[in-house]
Amino acid sequence: MKILGLSAFYHDSAACVLDDGLVVAAAQQERFSRKKHDHRFPCDAVSYCLGQAGLEAADLDCVAFYDKPWLKFERLLETYMSFAPQGLPSFFKAMPLWLRQKLWMEDLIRRELPGYEGEILYPEHHQSHAASAFFASPFAGAAILTSDGVGEWATASWGVGSASRIELKQELHFPHSLGLLYSAFTYYTGFRVNSGEYKIMGLAPYGEPRFVEAIFEHLLDLRADGSFRLNMKYFNYCQGLTMTSRAFDRLFGGPPRQPETPLTQREMDLARSVQAVTEEIMLRMARYVRRQTGERALCMAGGVALNCVANGKILRAGIFDELWIQPAAGDAGGALGAALFAWHEVHDGPREADGRVDRQRGSFLGPAYPTDEVVRWLDERRLPHHRLASDQLVETVADILVEEKVVGWFSGRMEFGPRALGARSIIGDARSQKMQSVMNLKIKYRESFRPFAPACLAEDVSDLFELDRASPYMLLVADVQPHRRLETSGRDDALFGIDKLNVPRSDIPAVTHVDYSARVQTVHRETNPRFHALISAFKRRTGYGVVVNTSFNVRGEPIVCTPEEAYLCFMRTEMDVLVLEDCVLYKEEQRPLEEDSDWRELYALD
C-alpha cells in the first residue's frame, strides 16, 4: 500500500510517502521553496516524495492530511464569537484563506494530485502527532505525550501506544496552551512567533528566574497532573493580532521589546522564567502520564517536544526508563504521523518494534545528489574543486578542522525535521575558543548569544557529557562532564549577559553553554557512516570525538537542499571549505560571485 501524508496551512508544511509502512521519503516544503517555515501546500515536497518512491499520484492508495479542517474552523468561529466584536480584525484577516482553500481541502488535494481518485483521510491534529511519536519509535508499547500551540481544539494530549494501535485518553483544550504560553513570551521578548521559540531556550541560561512567581500567581493555574488554565486577561491571541495584552505589559514592566533592538537583563530573566515554568509543567505531565499508564517508555511529539532542555529534565528525573522524541516533532512531522495513522489504524498495517531501532533511520529522508551529478554541476560552472576517494576525503577534512577552519558539509540524503544532523551541516573544532563567535557572527550572521550543538561519536557520549544513552536527533540537553569543566569563579562576575559566553567553561568551549549544558547529538556508524568516519578521523588527531555541528544556512534561510544552494551559502559567508559529497572546494580558489543579489534581503529574519 502506497500512502501520501500531508501537512499544510499553519507552518512547516511537509509531505511523506510510505510504502507498506516503510518511510520512503519525507521533506518540508521550505527546503524547496526557500521560504522558511513555508505554510503553503507542499507541492514541491510532494513531487520529491513521489519521485523518490517512483510513483505517480494515480499510484497512491491513500492520502492522509494531518488535521480536520472543518473542526479547526469550528474552533475559530466559536472563539471569534466569544470575543466579538473585539476579534473582528483578526477574523477578517483569517477568513480569506479559509474560504479560498482550507475549507475545500479535498478539492485542493485532488487538484494538486491529478489522477488520484482514492480515499482522503483526516486524522485529528494530535492523533497525527501521537502517531508520529509512537509508530516511528522503537517501542512495542509506550506512553504518549503531545503538546503544541493548538490543533483543532486540543493543545496537549496523552495516551498509550501498543503494537499497531494508539489510544488518546485525555486532552487539554484551547485557549489553555503551553505552546502558546511559550510563544507569548517569544513575542514579548522581541522574537518571531513559530520561529524564535528556540531562541528563548538558548537565552534562558543568561537570566534569573525572577518572574516565575508572577507567572504562577497571575498567568496560570497549574494542577498536579500538569493541566492548567491560563488567565486570558493577559493574552490577546484569541481576539487580537498580538500574543499579549496591555495587562501583560503592566505585569512585566513595559511594552514588548522591539525586534532587533539590544537585549536587556529583563528579556534574559523573562526567558529563564518561562523556561522554568515550562519545565515544571512538562515534568508534572510526565509524572501523571507514568502513574496513569504504568508504561516504562515515553514517546513525545508536538512543537513543545522540541524543547530539548525540558526533555533532558524529564530524562534525568527518572520518570520513564526510556524516552523517544519525534525528530520532526512540529507540524512537519504531522505529515508522517498522518500517513502512519492511515497505515496502522485505518488499514491495519503490521508493525514491528525491537526496542532498539526506530523507523526514522536517522531521519535522512530527503533528496541526495550523487558525486557524479555534483561534478557535472561544478564542471559546467567551471568551479575549482578536488575530487577525492571517500577515505581520503574524511582524512583531509579532519586535517582542515584541526586548523580551526569552518567547513560546509553536504553529504547524503537531507534531514527531515528542523535539525541538521550531519547531512547539511556547518562544522568546526569544538575545542576552539573562538569557534562559537566566528560561526555566529561571520558564518550564520545571527545573534551572538546563541549556543552551538556538539555532534559526538555515540560510543564517546558518556565521556563527554552526563548522558548514558543515544541522542541521535539532537533533542536532549545534558551537562558537560565535571572533569571537563574549567573553573570560572571570578572571571565572569563582572560580565553582563551574553558577554559571559566568551569565557571558556570546558575543554570543548565551542559547544558548552554558560550553564555547562549542551544540546547533544550522538553520531552512529549505522545511520550516518560518513559523518561518523569524519569525527573518528578528527579523534585520531586530537583525542576528541566531537565537533561543532550547526545547520547549513544563514539566519532566516531554510537549510540548504541542493549543491547550488550550498555553494551560494559558502560563498556568501566566511566559511573556509565546502565539501559536496566527494568534492572539496577551497574558498581561496573560488572566483567572486558574479552579479549576486543582496542576499540578506532574500530571507526574512527569524
Q: What is the CATH number of the domain that holds 557?
A: 3.90.870.20
Q: What percentage of the chain exceeds 70 in pLDDT?
A: 98
41 in any annotated domain? no
**Which residues, in sequence order, are bridge partners of residue 585?**
578
Q: CB count, 10 Å around CB of 466?
A: 17
418 in any annotated domain? yes
pLDDT of residue 89: 78
pLDDT of residue 84: 75
Q: Are 331 and 11 in contact (CB under 8 A)?
A: yes
Q: Among 308, 311, 318, 346, which Cα is nearest to 164's?
A: 346
Whether the per-residue pLDDT at 527 is higher than 90: the answer is yes
pLDDT of residue 64: 98
pLDDT of residue 146: 98
3-class SS of residue 521: strand
Alpha carbon distances (Å) from 370 to 50, 362, 376: 19, 19, 10
Q: Among 164, 166, 123, which Cα is nearest to 144's?
A: 166
Per the structure, how many domains does the chain have?
Answer: 1
CA 328 – CA 133 distance, rounded (Å): 9
Whether the per-residue pLDDT at 598 is higher than 70: the answer is no
Q: Which three cell numbers stand for residue 462?
A: 558518556
279 in any annotated domain? no
Exposure class string for 203-223: b at 16+ Cβ within 10 A, else e: bbbbbebebbeebeeebbebe
Q: Please give the DSSP secondary-structure letter assigned to residue 221.
A: E
Q: Please give the DSSP secondary-structure letter assigned to residue 481.
A: P
523 in any annotated domain? yes
Give the pairing of strands 322-325 and 297-301: parallel
CA 27 – CA 216 distance, rounded (Å): 39
Query: Comparing 527 with 446, which gets the higher pLDDT?
Result: 527
CA 45 – CA 17 distance, rounded (Å): 10
CA 225 – CA 113 distance, rounded (Å): 44
Q: Among 41, 66, 58, which Cα is nearest to 2's?
A: 58
Indicate the pTM of the whole model: 0.96
Q: Which three cell numbers stand for residue 158?
A: 496523552
Q: What percentage of the chain exceeds 90 in pLDDT?
A: 85
pLDDT of residue 600: 67
Q: Please give the DSSP secondary-structure letter assigned to residue 306.
A: G
Question: Which range marks the domain in which residue 583 is found?
Answer: 371-601
9 in any annotated domain? no
Alpha carbon distances (Å) from 207 to 181, 191, 199, 244, 249: 18, 16, 13, 21, 19
pLDDT of residue 448: 81
pLDDT of residue 101: 82
**H or E, element range at 160:** strand 154-162
Q: Among 5, 28, 10, 37, which Cα is nearest to 113's?
A: 5
Whether the per-residue pLDDT at 137 is higher than 70: the answer is yes
Q: CB count, 10 Å around CB of 99?
A: 11
Q: What is the mean pLDDT of the chain?
A: 94
CA 57 – CA 44 distance, rounded (Å): 13
464 in any annotated domain? yes
Say if residue 130 is exposed, middle or buried (CB neighbours under 10 Å; 0-12, 13-18, 19+).
Answer: buried
The answer to which of 77-81, 277-281, 365-369, 548-552 has the lowest mean pLDDT is 77-81
Phi, psi angle pair for 415, to nearest 5°: -75, 145
Q: DSSP 3-state helix, strand, coil percentages of the chain (rounded to 5)?
A: 40, 20, 40
List pLDDT tens digits, range 56-72. 999 999 999 999 999 99
pLDDT of residue 383: 98
Q: Please give the DSSP secondary-structure letter assigned to residue 219.
A: I
275 in any annotated domain? no
330 in any annotated domain? no
- Give the model's confidence band at 281: pLDDT under 50 very low, under 70 low, under 90 confident, else very high: very high
| Stretch 215-235: mean pLDDT | 98
Phi, psi angle pair for 94, to nearest 5°: -80, -30
| Stretch 208-213: mean pLDDT | 97
